[in-house]
Amino acid sequence: MRLMRKPYAFALIASLVLASLVVFYYFSHQRAPDVRSAKELVVVTYNAAGTYYVDGKGNFAGLEYDLVNLFIKDLGDDYKVKFIVADKVSDVIPTLQKGKAHLAAANLSITKERAKLIRFGTPYLDVQQHVAYGLDQNNEPKVLQDLFEKHIHIPKGSSYAERLKSMRNQNTMLNFQEVENASTDELLEQVNMGFLNYTVADDRVISILQNYYPNIGKGMAIGNPEQIAWAFPKNGNEWLYKKSLAFFDRISKDGTLKNLVDRYHGHTERLNQLDVRKFFSQTQSVLPKFVPIFKSAQELNDIDWRLIAAISYQESHWDQYNTSPTNVRGMMMLTEETADDLGVTDRLDAKQSIFGGARYINILKRQVSEKIPEPDRTWMALAAYNIGFAHLEDARVLAKKMGLNPDSWADIKTTLPMLNKAKYYSKAKFGYANGGAPVIFVESIRTYYDILEKYFPGRESLFPNFEFKSSAPLTKKQ
Taking the CB of residue 368, how many other CB atoms lie within 10 A of it?
A: 22
Q: Whole-angstrom distance between the N-terminal and C-terminal Cα of the chain?
A: 55
Residue 61 host element (H or E): strand 60-61
The bridge status of strand 60-61 relative to strand 53-54 is: antiparallel
Q: What's the CA gap between 243 and 41, in Å, rounded?
A: 12
Residue 389 DSSP one-character state: H
Identify whether the C-beta of residue 387 lies closer than 8 Å to the C-beta of residue 437: yes
Cα–Cα distance list, 26 to 29, 31, 37, 38 (Å): 5, 9, 21, 19
CA–CA separation, 455 vs 208, rounded Å? 14
- Euclidean distance between CA atoms 197 and 195, whole angstroms: 7
Phi/psi region, residue 452 (left: phi>0; alpha: psi -120 to 50; beta: rest), is: alpha
Q: Which residues pair with 86 in a beta bridge?
A: 46
Give me the sheet containing 216-221, strands edge to edge. Answer: 198-202, 129-134, 216-221
C-alpha 242/C-alpha 121 separation (Å) is: 9
Alpha-carbon distance of 75 to 103, in angstroms, equals: 14
The whole-angstrom separation of Cα 256 and Cα 244 is: 15
Q: Cβ distance 400 to 428 under 8 Å?
A: no
Check if 315 is active-site. yes
Nearest-angstrom CA–CA distance, 372 and 400: 14
List phi, psi (to 5°) of 286.
Answer: -115, -45
DSSP letter, residue 373? P
Q: How many helices (H) and strands (E) does the chain have?
A: 20, 15
Spatial CA neighbour of 105 closest among 64, 66, 74, 77: 64
C-alpha gyration radius of the chain: 26
β-strands 80-86, 40-46: how paired?
Answer: parallel
Q: Which of 40, 315, 393, 443 is catalytic?
A: 315
- CA torsion 445-291-455-268 (nearest 10°) is 10
Closest C-alpha among 62, 405, 36 to residue 242: 36
* Residues that are catalytic: 315
